Amino acid sequence: MSCFSCFSISQNKKASKKFDAERALQPAAPSRTLTADRGSGGESNKRPENHTQITQHAAPAQTTRPTPEATHRKEASNGSIAAQTFTFRELASATKNFRPDNLLGEGGFGRVYKGSLEKTGQLVAVKQLDRSGLQGNREFLVEVLMLSLLHHQNLVKLIGYCADGAQRLLVYEFMPLGSLEDHLLGIAPDQKPLSWNNRMKIAFDAAKGLEYLHEKANPPIIFRDLKSSNILLDENYEAKLSDFGLAKLGPVGDKLQGSSRVMGTYGYCAPEYARSGDLTLKSDVYSFGVVLLELITGRRAIDTTKPIKEQNLVAWAQPLFKDKRSYGKLADPLLEGGYPEIGLNEAVAVAAMCLQEEATVRPFMIDIVATLSHIAAAQPGTARRSTSTSGRRSNPTMEEPQDGGEQDEGRQRAVKEAIEWGSEFKSQL
């Protein structure tokens, strides 16, 4: 599903003062610092002294607006951008002149090709932006800056970029299994469906990526376009978030982040964002809920091939959230019952909490990560400790037990909390 402006709103809405990637092209812009730790909500923004600060330096005042190429060279020279710069010739050579048989995918922003860097032999994915497509200079700059300044195991790594003349290309690490969408939605009859274990592992990884953006980045980052096609998988089904062209620096605390236009993908946008452009970290939480529901059901967020009442995934699922006995109806038939009932109930409870209409009552990503860590740990071969990236203390009942006896006890506490979540949700309907 391609990215597009899923709704239009009045252009006279007050523009956000938080972040605009076009400021990277403006003279005398103030310096902005991305630092490494933040409590969520209204918690203190005080940073530990040993945390690394990542600064996006301002361009010096000029009488004329610098070109994007000049801006990129300036940022690279002062150390703000660690990504390599490539010439168009180098990337054409890497992809064998963008041969059709090297095409990995195509969307509203352009085409992605598999390539091999001539100097190192490294396999890469090269995204060639369509000059008449949806992603312009602003989105290109945002993606280069975001992926250069932010580093996490569940964010796709930016190797470099090309800004030769009118050409705009991004070079990423190669993810051999492609996107989550390729393995979950509309798969071929002879294609093996994702197991429940891998689905929960992918949900856990994607949640950790969002938690990093929300809790560790300072200011926090609103991803704004989370969907199954923007979650990439490596050979071990480890998931990484990709496509940061629509990302924004978020507000601090519970303040709203205004938006001049609503961007994203229909079916994944939070209702308050779709209605009025009010953007917060909880907008990403809603989108995550949609992706989690896709993982549970094997259905697309929007599927016009289904009966009218089932075309919108969230609208179809919400009545089933009210009765725990109906949760089994949400499970993907392709799983053929290959899932633990308790794990399904917990996963549905998390999705229901994320998809609540009122943004303020949706959980924080740190809480989602804590819960999904237990769901994933219950699956054979996927037990792991939650790798929370925030300094915020998580619920002690969600910590991983140390031995077998404590594990059973901790498991029961996790189940109890999931049931309480579901009960609270139903009481608000």
Residue 272 belongs to a domain: yes
Report the CATH number that the domain containing residue 107 is assigned in CATH: 3.30.200.20
Distance CA 74, CA 259 (A): 29
Residue 10 belongs to a domain: no
Final residue in a domain of this structure, among 173, 191, 222: 173
Residues 145 and 226 in one domain: no
pLDDT at 402: 40
Q: Provide the token pair at 64.
A: 């004329």
Phi and psi based region of residue 60 (left: phi greater than 0; alpha: psi -120 to 50; beta: remaining): beta
Q: Catalytic annotation on 332?
A: no
pLDDT at 350: 97
Residue 6 belongs to a domain: no
Average pLDDT by stretches of 10, the chain with 429 residues: 39 39 37 39 39 37 45 45 86 95 84 94 92 68 85 94 91 95 91 95 98 92 93 96 84 55 84 89 97 98 95 97 94 95 96 96 96 83 42 38 47 52 50
Distance CA 89, CA 109 (A): 21
Residues 217 and 362 in one domain: yes
* Closest CA relative to residue 362, chosen from 203, 224, 254: 254
DSSP secondary structure code for residue 212 in this structure: I
pLDDT at 244: 85
Q: What string of DSSP letters covers 131-146?
A: TTSS--HHHHHHHHHH
Residues 78 and 207 in one domain: no
Catalytic residue, chosen from 20, 37, 205, 225, is 225
Predicted confidence (pLDDT) per residue in 178-211, tens digit: 999 999 998 888 899 999 999 999 999 999 999 9
Return binding residues: 127
Q: Provide the token pair at 99.
A: 């041969």
Residue 221 belongs to a domain: yes
Return binding residues for ATP: 127
Residues 168 and 184 in one domain: no
Under a CB-based contact definition with an 8 Å cutoff, are residues 211 and 369 in contact?
Answer: yes
Report the CATH number that the domain containing residue 222 is assigned in CATH: 1.10.510.10
pLDDT at 79: 42
Alpha helices in 79-126 (DSSP H): 88-94
Residues 277 and 356 in one domain: yes
Residues 166 and 196 in one domain: no
Return the number of other C-beta atoms located less than 10 Å from residue 213's C-beta: 26
Residue 363 belongs to a domain: yes
Query: Which residues fall within 8 angstroms of residue 161, CB to CB, at 6 or more apart?
Result: 72, 83, 84, 85, 86, 140, 144, 168, 169, 170, 171
Residues 169 and 294 in one domain: no
Residues 315 and 418 in one domain: yes
Residue 61 belongs to a domain: yes
pLDDT at 420: 59
Residue 11 belongs to a domain: no
Number of domains in the chain: 2
Residue 9 belongs to a domain: no
Phi and psi based region of residue 369 (left: phi greater than 0; alpha: psi -120 to 50; beta: remaining): alpha
Q: Write out the residue range of the structural domain in which residue 52 sits.
A: 21-173
Residues 150 and 94 in one domain: yes
Residues 335 and 279 in one domain: yes
Final residue in a domain of this structure, among 146, 173, 200: 173
Final residue in a domain of this structure, among 125, 150, 173: 173
Residues 307 and 275 in one domain: yes
Residues 393 and 246 in one domain: yes
